[in-house]
Amino acid sequence: MEEIVKEITSVSAKIILATSASLALVLAGFTTFAAIRAKNKTEHAILELALEKASSSSQKVESKMVEAIAASTSMAASLSGLFQEGQAKRTDVIQVLRAVAPHYQSVFGTWMCELSGENAPRPTLGSEGANKEGLFTPYWTKRDDGALEFSTWSVDVTDEYYALPLEIGKSAVTSPYLTTTNKLVTSVSVPIRIGGKIVAVGGVDIKLDDLTSSLASLEPFKGGHVMLLANNGKWLANPDRSKLMQDYSDDGVDQVKLALAGQGVQIVKAADGGVRVVYPFTATGMNATWAAVIDVPGAVFLTPVRNEIINTIFAGTFLMIVAVAVIWIISHFIIAKPLKTVAVAVNNMATGNYVDAVATNTGHDELGRLSNALEKFRQELNEGVQSKLNQEKLRDEVENGNRRQAALEKTKAEDLRNFVGSVQSSLKRLAEGDLTVRMDEPVASDFETIRQNFNSSVASLEDTVRAVVHSVSRIRYGLAEITTASNDLARRTEQQAASLEETVAALGEVTRGVNNTAVGADSAKMVVEHARSDAEVGGKIVARAVDAMTEIQASAVKIENIIGVIDEIAFQTNLLALNAGVEAARAGEAGKGFAVVAQEVRELAQRSAEAAKEIKVLISMSSQHVSAGVLLVEKSGTSLTSIVEQVVAMSDTVSQIAASAREQATSLREVSSAADEMDIVTQQNAAMVEEATAATQGLTHETEALAQTIARFQVEERRTYTTSRVRLVAGTQS
């Protein structure tokens, strides 16, 4: 019981009670604020929704009205056009009216009436459709089964359907009214003009029963209704059928009048907390304002607010419980527990226990400062007790420390001597080029880092030198290949240069031969020209010979003996000329035919001499052969002409050969020039190859010098799966 009383009267319990009371007050204020905000938010949302539903309902009515206004306007336009054509027949007007109603489901009737008055215009001809006053008032109505009935009616000029369109000069929707058959109807009346002057009034009647019934059956909110007011303030749609076509008499009469007067949406508050939304609307050509009315019950507003308040209370209560629990836990660990710790520490110090430390608080609050101060006080008390013991212990520790220090210094000096000796030995081997040296002997821990660094440095140096050795080997191998390739290239370049020189020389010989051929062709051409001239001369001689033979024939009787000789001489001369032509053709190729011709001429001379000897014998026969000689001489002339033509053709051929030879000589000179240039380039390439070979040999000498320098280092040669120590020797790899 005493423990319970202590817990209740503790500081943490008092803090929890004060906090709980504060949270309760805050929760109450927050709940009130949430309720007010929820009420405002709910009212705004419900009013927005009510306006949307009122707008939707009004649009349904507007669509019906727009349809009826369009029908009446179209009908009036048709009648106006019919009237403007001249005196229209009433039967035509009646048919126009009859054709409108079947096309519109909401149209109850179509009608037209002429203006009343003795001086009023009469745009129609005929007696059909006249009422008892004689006015043309055709009226078509639609029965429930869809059939149309025709009738007339008496005109009252004060009725709204007649007076209103004449007054405002445009279409108008009349106030709804009940027909004799108890149907709710409104009329759309449109003035009909001819040349801008009103001559009649026509329109359609619309049934509102189906529309008002559908609106009255709607329930936008639970317990709410959608209603409709006409421009005269009478009910067109109301769940209470007894109020139809009755004036609005509920709360907010003035606000309803404002809405119907075009003053915007009006909100009427009800006694139960609900509202009535009066939403005015109109349509093009309607020229009147109706209003959709929506009742929103008070329960629609109260239920969301009540639910919001309940949810807020439950959430606040839960948060308050959680907050109290958190505060209890925090106060227990931050206040109660530290205070208990301080109380225990004070009791311990009161009994002389200065050893157990006080659990200090690292915070900067009062409990932290209290525990820290108490701990300092305990430490000061404990230090006074321990001071003497510490002095004695310190003296013993100093003596023991001196002894240990002396032994330690001796050990370190020995380790230092051993380490210095190992370093000197390793450095000596390293100076001799032995890169395989390692400090493998264990050393003191103080020098272990130096030993490892030494081994790592030497290993890195060994790897570097080994890499250099291998690189030198590869360079040697590459230089050897380059030297071999350079020598081969030099040899091949020299061979190519020699071949080019021979080619140039051969081209020179060929060029000279072709030049000689061209010169010979020119000489042959000249010879052929001479032969041609000789042949032409021979032809002339033959012609003269023919003339002479003719004269001889005339004197044949006298010189028959001489003619025989002359005929033989002419015959032989002919053969000689023929042989001379053949040999002249051959002379164009070898130039040796002229010697043969000369030989033949000599033989002919011999034969002529023999013939001279035989003249005496043959003189008697010459007259007989004169005629035959004449014929032969003529044939010889023909042959000489053919020879001349062939010589001309041969001359042309020889000319072409000479021109071709000159062209070949020119081409060969160009080829020879190109070959000379190639020979020069080849000589330059040979010089460059020799320079490259010399550079390669110089690089080889430098590599050998580098290998000799590297050879003084001893490294561990690594092979796959084997290890051996070798001494590099310069020039061992080639």
Q: Residue 586: which pLDDT band, with cuts at 50, 70 and 90?
A: low
- Residue 451 identity: R
SS3 592: coil
pLDDT at 724 (0 to 100): 37
Which are the contacts of 292, defined by CB distance < 8 A and separation ≥ 6?
Answer: 54, 55, 57, 58, 61, 215, 226, 227, 228, 229, 278, 279, 281
Pairing mode, strands 139-142 and 124-125: unpaired
The pLDDT of 359-388, averaged and rounded, is 70
The pLDDT of 358-365, averaged and rounded, is 64
CA distances from 726 to 433, 458, 704, 711 (A): 12, 17, 19, 10
Contact 368, 360 (CB under 8 A): yes
Of 18-27, 33-42, 276-285, 586-595, give the lowest mean pLDDT range. Answer: 586-595
For residue 100, pLDDT over 80 is answered with yes
DSSP secondary structure string for all residues of 658-672: HHHHHHHHHHHHHHH
pLDDT at 733 (0 to 100): 43
Helices assigned H by DSSP within 285-365:
298-331, 337-350
pLDDT at 82 (0 to 100): 86
Q: Residue 723: which pLDDT band, with cuts at 50, 70 and 90?
A: very low
The pLDDT of 102-119, averaged and rounded, is 86
Dist CA 121 CA 103 (whole Å): 30
pLDDT at 734 (0 to 100): 43
For residue 202, pLDDT over 90 is answered with yes
Which are the contacts of 161, defined by CB distance < 8 A and separation ≥ 6?
Answer: 174, 187, 189, 201, 203
* CATH, domain 43-299, list 3.30.70.2190, 3.30.450.20, 3.90.1150.50, 3.40.50.460: 3.30.450.20
- Residue 108 identity: F
For residue 615, pLDDT over 50 is answered with yes
Helices assigned H by DSSP within 555-621:
560-587, 593-618
Dist CA 260 CA 433 (whole Å): 119
Dist CA 206 CA 178 (whole Å): 11
Q: Where are the domains of the chain?
A: 43-299
Contact 183, 109 (CB under 8 A): no
The pLDDT of 4-33, averaged and rounded, is 69
pLDDT greater at residue 111 or residue 433: 111
SS3 281: strand
pLDDT at 113 (0 to 100): 92
The residues with which 176 forms a beta bridge, in sequence order, are none
For residue 8, pLDDT over 70 is answered with no
Report the percentage of the chain scoring pLDDT > 70.
74
pLDDT at 539 (0 to 100): 67
pLDDT at 300 (0 to 100): 65
The pLDDT of 309-333, averaged and rounded, is 77
SS3 588: coil
Q: Residue 732: which pLDDT band, with cuts at 50, 70 and 90?
A: very low
Contact 301, 43 (CB under 8 A): yes
pLDDT at 730 (0 to 100): 39
Dist CA 327 CA 192 (whole Å): 87
The pLDDT of 4-24, averaged and rounded, is 67
Contact 650, 586 (CB under 8 A): no
Count of CB atoms within 10 A of residue 291's CB? Answer: 26
Count of CB atoms within 10 A of residue 504's CB? Answer: 17
Dist CA 662 CA 181 (whole Å): 134
- Residue 555 identity: S
pLDDT greater at residue 637 or residue 417: 417
Dist CA 546 CA 79 (whole Å): 133
pLDDT at 110 (0 to 100): 93
Contact 256, 291 (CB under 8 A): yes
Dist CA 720 CA 359 (whole Å): 68
Helices assigned H by DSSP within 432-559:
445-554
For residue 95, pLDDT over 50 is answered with yes
DSSP secondary structure string for all residues of 193-212: EETTEEEEEEEEEEE-HHHH
- Gyration radius from the chain CA atoms: 74
Q: Among all chains, which residue has been given the structure tokens 């609307």?
A: 281
CA distances from 644 to 184, 447, 533 (A): 139, 125, 8
For residue 591, pLDDT over 60 is answered with no
448 φ/ψ sector (left φ>0, alpha ψ -120 to 50, else beta):
alpha
- Residue 708 identity: Q
pLDDT at 731 (0 to 100): 43
Contact 470, 717 (CB under 8 A): no
Largest CA distance in the chain: 206
Pick from 54, 50, 57, 72: which is nearest to 212 by CA?
Answer: 57
**DSSP 8-state assignment for residue 564:** H
DSSP secondary structure string for all residues of 622-633: HHHHHHHHHHHH
For residue 414, pLDDT over 90 is answered with no
pLDDT at 621 (0 to 100): 66
The pLDDT of 622-643, averaged and rounded, is 69
Q: Among all chains, which residue has been given the structure tokens 């001086």?
A: 119
Tokens in use for 136?
């043309």
**For residue range 516-558, what is the model confidence (pLDDT) as tens digits?**
777 776 776 777 677 677 767 766 776 776 676 677 666 656 7
Tokens in use for 574?
């002919």
Contact 140, 237 (CB under 8 A): no
pLDDT greater at residue 170 or residue 435: 170
Most confident of 1-10, 222-231, 511-520: 222-231
CA angle 298, 300, 306 (to 5 degrees): 90
Dist CA 211 CA 184 (whole Å): 10
Tokens in use for 691?
């320079």
For residue 166, pLDDT over 70 is answered with yes
Dist CA 557 CA 377 (whole Å): 194
The pLDDT of 635-661, averaged and rounded, is 73
Q: Among all chains, which residue has been given the structure tokens 């509202």?
A: 275
The residues with which 141 forms a beta bridge, in sequence order, are 109, 149
Of 216-220, 464-468, 558-562, 684-688, give the lowest mean pLDDT range. Answer: 558-562
- Residue 167 identity: E
Of 95-99, 112-116, 459-463, give the lowest mean pLDDT range. Answer: 459-463
For residue 163, pLDDT over 80 is answered with yes
pLDDT at 647 (0 to 100): 67
The pLDDT of 601-611, averaged and rounded, is 60
Report phi then psi at 202, rounded to 5: -140, 165
**For residue range 136-156, what is the model confidence (pLDDT) as tens digits?**
999 999 888 888 999 999 998
For residue 728, pLDDT over 50 is answered with no
Q: Residue 470: which pLDDT band, with cuts at 50, 70 and 90?
A: confident
End-to-end CA distance of the chain: 108
The pLDDT of 163-183, averaged and rounded, is 85
pLDDT at 726 (0 to 100): 38
Pick from 469, 471, 476: which is nearest to 734 by CA?
Answer: 476
Tokens in use for 391?
């002095």
- 298-307: burial string, b at 16+ Cβ within 10 Å, e else: ebbbeebbee
**DSSP 8-state assignment for residue 103:** G
CA neighbours closer than 13 Å in the CB half-sphere of residue 237:
25
The residues with which 276 forms a beta bridge, in sequence order, are 268, 295
SS3 469: helix
pLDDT at 729 (0 to 100): 38
Report the percentage of the chain scoring pLDDT > 90.
4
Q: Is the dihedral of CA 659, 662, 667, 668 positive or negative?
A: positive
SS3 readout for 391-443: HHHHHHHHHHHHHHHHHHHHHHHHHHHHHHHHHHHHHHHHHCCECCCCCCCCC
Dist CA 610 CA 590 (whole Å): 33
